Amino acid sequence: MSRNAPIAIPDDVRSRLKALRLLPRRARGAHGIGQHASRSRGAGLEFAQYRAYEPGDELRQIDWKLYARSDRFFVRESERESPITTWVLIDATASAGQHDRARPEWSRLDHACATAACLVELALQQSDRFGVIAISGEGVQLVPAGHGARQRDRVHLLLRQLQARGSWPPVTSLAPIWERVQAGDLLVALGDGFDEAGIVLLERLAAARREVLHLQLLTAEERDFPFTDGHRFRDPETGEELLGDGRAIREDYLARFETAQRALQARLQNSGIVHATGYLDQPLDQPLRALLGAGGGA
């Protein structure tokens, strides 16, 4: 994807996006009026509770029928539908620059940015606040949470500037995430899930009452290992190289990779992180449906 072209969401994906909802299980809207259940009480459709009248309450909030039965003033309260804050966390380390040989112009980072654009569209549909965090070797780049179409443009501006480089930064440089992502916010992490430090970060975020979803993006080659010749495989982050014959090491790799994937899933599940896996040769919304369909039931 060209760095200058806007992040275009294919039309078919865009139409299918309309059926998706960013529904958190735990996260609650805090302020304002939105689509999510919130802890703030007020005027609304969903009955929450009766409470005793206190001086200062509006008279029209008093439930007069109840007064007639009980001879006491009760105020009827409803739950307010409030917006939530959605964060998209993009792993932009060097491994995100990997691409399939069949489609060399479409890297994992391109796929992640397009997925992030889809998530932003979803948040925009729901009038949620949204922000973007990109983690690369240089540290953290982020767009503070906001709402509206202009916020989307700011997000796209950041996404278009992203470049895959470096390895996972040290924990100290991740402080902006903890400052920005509040408890109760929804955070969707996009990345390959190969960085141990990245998984640890998600676990800690989830433990700190952030609703974390993890969308693992894998290339088709990582899934199928279609190499038949000798290749020099290189880890883009460590620079480590390995000379191997594709046919000879395929089966072993697939078995070990499958095991590692299962371990990762189990680990994320233990931490209450919803996990889904998408591949670069799939439509953008396919893993989102798995992710949000499973996690957005609340």
Partner 1 sequence: MSLLFPLGLLALAAWLVPLLIHLARRHQYAPLDFAALRWLRARIRPRQRVRFDEWPLLLVRLLLLAALALLLARPVLHGGAADTHPVTVVAPGLDGAALRGQNVQGDWRWLAPGFPTLAEGAPAPTQPLASLLRELDQTLPAGTPLTVYIPDPMPGLDGERPRLSRAVTWQPVPLAPPAARVGTPPRLQIGGSIAEGEQRVLAAIQRAWSDQPLSPARAADTAPDDGQLGVWLAAAPLPAAWQAWVQRGGSVLVAPGAAGTGWMPALRDAHGNVVLEHRTEGSGRLLRFSAALSPTALPAVRDPGFPRQWLAVIAAPAAPTLAPAATQAPLRGAAAPVPAPRELAPWLLALIVLLFALERVMATSPRRGAGA
Q: Does residue 262 belong to the site contacting partner 1 (CB under 8 A)?
A: no
Residue whose C-alpha is closest to residue 107's, from 175, 165, 52, 172: 165
Q: Does residue 57 belong to the site contacting partner 1 (CB under 8 A)?
A: no
- 13 vs 96, which CB is nearer to partner 1? 96
- 207 vs 260, which CB is nearer to partner 1? 260
Q: Does residue 106 belong to the site contacting partner 1 (CB under 8 A)?
A: no
Q: Residue 237 CB, nearest distance to partner 1 (Å)?
A: 7
Among 252, 269, 270, 298, binds partner 1 (CB under 8 A): 252
- 38 vs 216, which CB is nearer to partner 1? 216
Q: Residue 84 CB, nearest distance to partner 1 (Å)?
A: 32
- 12 vs 258, which CB is nearer to partner 1? 258
Q: Does residue 185 belong to the site contacting partner 1 (CB under 8 A)?
A: no
**Terminal-to-terminal C-alpha distance of the chain:** 36
Among 97, 137, 283, 296, binds partner 1 (CB under 8 A): 97
Q: Residue 270 CB, nearest distance to partner 1 (Å)?
A: 21
Q: Does residue 98 belong to the site contacting partner 1 (CB under 8 A)?
A: yes
Q: Does residue 69 belong to the site contacting partner 1 (CB under 8 A)?
A: no
Long-range contacts of 143-152 (CB under 8 A, 24+ apart): 144/180, 145/85, 145/86, 145/87, 145/180, 145/185, 147/83, 147/123, 148/124, 149/124, 152/120, 152/121, 152/124
| CB atoms closer than 10 angstroms to residue 117 | 24
As a whole number of angstroms, the distance between CA 160 and CA 143 comes to 13
- Pairing type for strands 139-146 and 36-42 reads unpaired
Q: Residue 233 CB, nearest distance to partner 1 (Å)?
A: 4
Binding mask 136-175 for partner 1 (x = CB under 8 A): ----------------------------------------
- 222 vs 285, which CB is nearer to partner 1? 222
Near partner 1 in 187-246, by CB under 8 A: 192, 194, 221-222, 229-238, 240-245
Binding site for partner 1 (CB under 8 A): 95, 97-99, 101, 108, 192, 194, 221-222, 229-238, 240-245, 248-249, 252-253, 256-257, 260
